[in-house]
């Protein structure tokens, strides 16, 4: 019993709220200080040296701002680039959610839900027709002919 309690004492699942918060703070501080990308830079990076104007063909292609900033950063990934990618992802998932909502809201037309319901009604009709054929001896096709003649759609006599 004593060994079980000693094992549970250090387990995060058995810690109180304040103990868990202090543990998370310590872990976050260690992770932030050990990651070189999260540390503050010691000095500002020098601006890129100006180059002579390039050929007119090269000037026709504009360089995105994120690419220019990324080339001067040592890691290649900047906060601005991440921000742009996050905005693009948000836009993509917003559009995806919108199209999904539109598809679910469709009532008429060739939708998956309508086709499933049509198939269920057809299966039920065929099942009822087969049970009626078994009970009365009238074939399924003859049942349809009788129904059409009773409704006045076709004159079979």
**Domain contains 13:** no
Domain containing 87 equals 63-105
Q: What is the pLDDT of residue 20?
A: 61
**Domain contains 1:** no
**Domain contains 23:** no
**Domain contains 138:** yes
**Domain contains 33:** no
Residue 126 and residue 85 in one domain: no
Question: Would you give per-residue pLDDT tens digits along the chain (157 residues)?
Answer: 444 444 445 555 555 666 666 666 655 554 555 666 555 555 565 666 666 555 555 444 555 555 555 455 466 789 999 999 999 999 999 999 999 898 888 888 888 888 999 999 999 999 999 999 999 999 989 999 998 999 999 887 7
- Three-state SS for the chain is CHHHHHHHHCCHHHCCHHHHHHHHHHHHHHHHHHCCCCCCCCCCCCCCCCCCCCCHHHHCCCCCHHHHHHHHCCCCCCHHHHHHHHHHHHHHHHHHHHHHHHHHHCCCCCCHHHHHHHHHHHHHHHHHHHHHHHHHCCCHHHHHHHHHHHCCCCCCC
Structurally, the chain folds into a number of domains equal to: 2
Residue 93 and residue 117 in one domain: no
Residue 121 and residue 145 in one domain: yes
Residue 129 and residue 92 in one domain: no
**Domain contains 134:** yes
Residue 94 and residue 113 in one domain: no
| pTM for the structure as a whole | 0.36
Residue 113 and residue 101 in one domain: no
**Domain contains 148:** yes
Residue 118 and residue 155 in one domain: yes
Residue 114 and residue 139 in one domain: yes
Residue 90 and residue 115 in one domain: no
Q: What is the pLDDT of residue 88?
A: 95
Q: What is the pLDDT of residue 65?
A: 54
**Domain contains 90:** yes
């Amino acid at each position: 019993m004593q060994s079980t309690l000693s094992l549970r004492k250090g387990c995060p699942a058995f810690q109180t709220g304040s103990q868990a918060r202090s543990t998370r703070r310590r872990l976050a501080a260690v992770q932030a200080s050990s990651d070189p990308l999260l540390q503050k830079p010691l000095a500002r990076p020098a601006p890129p040296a100006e180059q002579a104007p390039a050929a007119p063909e090269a000037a026709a292609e504009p360089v995105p701002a994120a690419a220019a900033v990324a080339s001067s950063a040592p890691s290649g990934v900047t906060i601005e680039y991440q921000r742009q990618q996050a905005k693009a992802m948000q836009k993509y998932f917003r559009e995806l959610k919108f199209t999904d909502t539109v598809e679910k809201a469709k009532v008429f037309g060739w939708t998956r839900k309508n086709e499933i319901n049509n198939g269920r009604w057809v299966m039920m009709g065929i099942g009822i027709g087969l049970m009626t054929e078994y009970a009365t001896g009238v074939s399924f096709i003859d049942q349809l002919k009788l129904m059409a003649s009773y409704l006045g759609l076709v004159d079979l006599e």
